[in-house]
A and B are shown apart, each in its own frame.
Chain A
């Protein structure tokens, strides 16, 4: 490494209150290289990207661009420094036409047109309003807009997600040529196939820290998976539980039956069953359609196709109230979505009781009190700050969101990443609780971004990638490396010695 890096970030720290998003991240990009930035969910990739592009400011750390310290305070600063991002959600102004969007960012039109043609869209009318352009094309336009100003460092966040195969191919080709012409690209992707075909090196983040920089060569994906998981591989093998307690197969009808469920372009043709007394895990990388799956089952959004059956009866949910009546409770991943933060623990737990019109009258405070207290005791919620839920710790807040549905005696609980950002002790309690619920014959659908939880809690694992169910694991096989591979769309059979790099084209990775 004799050449000086184009971009050199070291010791980057970012905290949000007590939550540490980045503790010591570094990233060094050489001229002419395509550099992959990798990490599991919540490792801090997106925070690092936001800092590099001026969207937020770091608490500490140095960022050198071409050896000079630059203080990037805003996206405009980053642009001037030659650093251009293409975000996952396109940043074209939806109500302006393409030409105005170019003018707004000071992008020259002719190079833009040239890039658009290059990227495989021959017939763009730049007078089209951005909102009317399909998402895939919009992402390509965003890329073309960035390329047109010839940035030194191009930052691509999941660039090929949601792109049809032909466009994705063109994009990858263009990105590769960027490297050849001496410019650098930071490439964030969940797809090993692309990374191996495209990138020179990869920086791996774990828990807000850079844990390694590797050269991309055949067989390296196993090392990357190991780095992303860290020391946890060894640990979890010990704690894996058997699915012996799983639901008795005698149950004829599943509690919840999902068949061919579709939601827009995000979720395609998902089918699975959930039995009584079962905890089924859902594993997926960010944005693979799991959000839509849970929202559709909870009645928050209407699916565009497929059927949902509860106890064998087909149901249609127009409002979460319909799902609740069918005994399906939804615990969202973001606690701020579920709680009325300025209200007390008691009111939050009792909220579903008052929802129906017939319960609008005077509240039987004693009866409500006893139900709430038993739920609080069962979950061991620390009620010292119970006057306002927002003063509770994150873990206790999460318990309140679950306690609500235990008090309401919901038959099916949809838990979306309930242990995100809470302390270890509380996590253990939540695992125990979910198992208890299953033992009482209730069914739980449990999405988690922390793979080690799967073997602690679940009876079965459904892996979703690109809006489809790509695999269903029995819990015995669901160790972390296997899940990680599956979540990245790697086939279950692929062994370390072969590696997918040897045989890109035969890999059954679902390209949408």
Chain B
């Protein structure tokens, strides 16, 4: 379909193709560059403690970005992850006062499953745009959480010590959170590459019509996907509260926008069908380092949002060019 057979492939095209094939290498280069800039601006800042801290803060972001990666592979997005994470964290922290931590965690994950189910049915069966659908459920979720807060206002909240240990603790200088993150990351990567479900996520996002002709039922895939995404967000909330240690009603909200940006930077196409989780993890690291950098440069929150918005737009437009070039 292309005329490339006739003429030599120009450099720009080769570069694009390289970027499309090995998105990880430029990402790692970018990450290293950012760390170097940081070191230049604040000599001595990059040390073992900083490294552990960066990893600790990047992990919740990376898991939420995993939700975005999986939904974006199908051409969707999940904006309710922030609310879901907040809900599960808050509910767990308040339920643990009266219940066994394990029971509290199970209770905390119930709303996550419910919201995921509603998202999945809305997107998969009713074909609401995922953006609108997940925005709506996150609004409802926030409302529910506020009502819930009234009922538990007297009982107070606490954070189980093992979650604090998991969220903030270090063992031999290595963050304990990796104990949770590594299995999750391996599971996501394995699911995407080596299971039928993962194949279907790519297939549905790449060409829904072709998937349909192959006998794939869209609503099944989408419903399962959004439930999984929500459960992951719920788990992130539990981890994140161990890190922040202060339950609030907007705990994980600030992570939503960066989670989308991390997945986009990591090479997952917002149009679906292209991308993977390893890129997303590096994307989350890049954003965490970038945030440190912006803080050092005393850039206000507003500038950060503008930057993230521009990144999403620019990267998406660039990917579109790469795809169209074929």
Residues of chain B lying within 8 A (CB to CB) of residue A18: 1-3, 5
Q: Is B321 an interface residue (CB 8 A)?
A: no
Q: Are B1 and A340 closer than 8 Å at their CB atoms?
A: no
Stretch at the interface among A135-143, A218-226, A349-357: A349-357
Q: Which residue of B lies closest to A405 (CB)?
A: B214
Residues of chain B lying within 8 A (CB to CB) of residue A302: none
Residues of chain B lying within 8 A (CB to CB) of residue A391: 326
Q: Which of chain A's residues 333-390 have a Cβ closer than 8 Å to chain B?
A: 336-343, 347, 350-357, 359-363, 365, 387, 390
Q: Which residue of B lies closest to A351 (CB)?
A: B214
Stretch at the interface among A25-33, A233-241, A319-327: A319-327
Q: How far is A351 from B215 in the complex, measured between Cα atoms in Å?
A: 9
Q: Are A361 and B2 closer than 8 Å at their CB atoms?
A: no
Residues of chain A lying within 8 A (CB to CB) of residue B203: 340, 343, 347, 351, 354
Give which listed residue, B5, B200, B213, contacts A360 with CB less than 8 A: B200
Q: Which residue of A lies closest to B209 (CB)?
A: A337
Q: Which residue of B lies closest to A15 (CB)?
A: B3
What distance in Å separates the Cβ of B124 from its nearest Cβ neighbour in chain A? 14
Residues of chain B lying within 8 A (CB to CB) of residue A339: 207, 210
Residues of chain B lying within 8 A (CB to CB) of residue A336: 207
Taking each of A17, A332, A342, which has the highest tally of chain B beta carbons within 10 Å of its own beta carbon? A342
Give which listed residue, A342, A350, A353, A404, contacts B273 with CB less than 8 A: A342
Contact pattern, B 273-284, Cβ under 8 Å of A = 1, otherwise 0: 110000000000
Q: How far is A106 from B202 in the complex, measured between Cα atoms in Å?
A: 47
Q: Which residue of B lies closest to A358 (CB)?
A: B196
Q: Which residue of A lies closest to B208 (CB)?
A: A340
Residues of chain A lying within 8 A (CB to CB) of residue B199: 347, 350-351, 354, 363
Residues of chain B lying within 8 A (CB to CB) of residue A365: 194
Q: A17-B3, A343-B202, A357-B220 are in contact. Are A320 and B210 (CB under 8 A)?
A: no
Give which listed residue, B202, B211, B215, B224, contacts A324 with CB less than 8 A: B215
Q: A320-B215, A324-B215, A356-B215 are in contact. Are A340 and B206 (CB under 8 A)?
A: yes
Q: Which residue of B lies closest to A298 (CB)?
A: B213
Q: Is B255 an interface residue (CB 8 A)?
A: no
**How many of A's residues come within 8 Å of B, CB to CB?**
41
Q: Is B195 an interface residue (CB 8 A)?
A: yes
Q: Are A354 and B194 closer than 8 Å at their CB atoms?
A: no
Residues of chain B lying within 8 A (CB to CB) of residue A359: 196
Contact pattern, B 1-24, Cβ under 8 Å of A = 1, otherwise 0: 111010000000000000001000
Q: Is A192 an interface residue (CB 8 A)?
A: no
Q: Is A19 an interface residue (CB 8 A)?
A: yes
Q: Is A271 an interface residue (CB 8 A)?
A: no
Q: Are B215 and A355 closer than 8 Å at their CB atoms?
A: yes
Taking each of A19, A340, A343, which has the highest tally of chain B beta carbons within 10 Å of its own beta carbon? A340
Q: Are A360 and B214 closer than 8 Å at their CB atoms?
A: no
Contact pattern, A 452-466, Cβ under 8 Å of B = 1, otherwise 0: 000000000000000
Q: Is B197 an interface residue (CB 8 A)?
A: yes
What distance in Å separates the Cβ of B206 from its nearest Cβ neighbour in chain A? 4
Q: Are A342 and B274 closer than 8 Å at their CB atoms?
A: yes
- SS class of chain B's interface: helix, strand, loop or mixed? helix
Q: Is A394 an interface residue (CB 8 A)?
A: yes
Q: Are A352 and B274 closer than 8 Å at their CB atoms?
A: no
What distance in Å separates the Cβ of B190 from its nearest Cβ neighbour in chain A? 8
Q: Which residue of B lies closest to A353 (CB)?
A: B196
Q: Which residue of B lies closest to A332 (CB)?
A: B213
Residues of chain B lying within 8 A (CB to CB) of residue A19: 1
Q: Are A330 and B213 closer than 8 Å at their CB atoms?
A: yes
Q: Is B127 an interface residue (CB 8 A)?
A: no
Give which listed residue, A341, A356, A361, A387, contacts B207 with CB less than 8 A: A341
Q: How far is A300 from B215 in the complex, measured between Cα atoms in Å?
A: 10
Q: Which of chain A's residues 289-326 have a Cβ closer than 8 Å to chain B?
A: 298, 300, 319-321, 324-325
Contact pattern, A 480-495, Cβ under 8 Å of B = 1, otherwise 0: 0000000000000000
Q: How far is A389 from B263 in the complex, measured between Cα atoms in Å?
A: 24
Q: Which residue of B lies closest to A331 (CB)?
A: B213
Q: Are B196 and A361 closer than 8 Å at their CB atoms?
A: yes
What distance in Å separates the Cβ of B289 from its nearest Cβ neighbour in chain A? 29
Q: Are A355 and B214 closer than 8 Å at their CB atoms?
A: yes
Q: What 10 A-B pairs are tightest by C-beta distance, nearest first?
A: A354-B196, A340-B206, A321-B215, A355-B215, A360-B197, A324-B215, A360-B196, A351-B214, A355-B216, A352-B214
**Interfacial residues, chain A to chain B (CB-CB below 8 A):** 17-19, 298, 300, 319-321, 324-325, 330, 332, 336-343, 347, 350-357, 359-363, 365, 387, 390-391, 393-394, 404
Given contacts A338-B213, A339-B210, 4 further A-B contacts (CB under 8 A): A325-B215, A337-B210, A347-B202, A363-B195
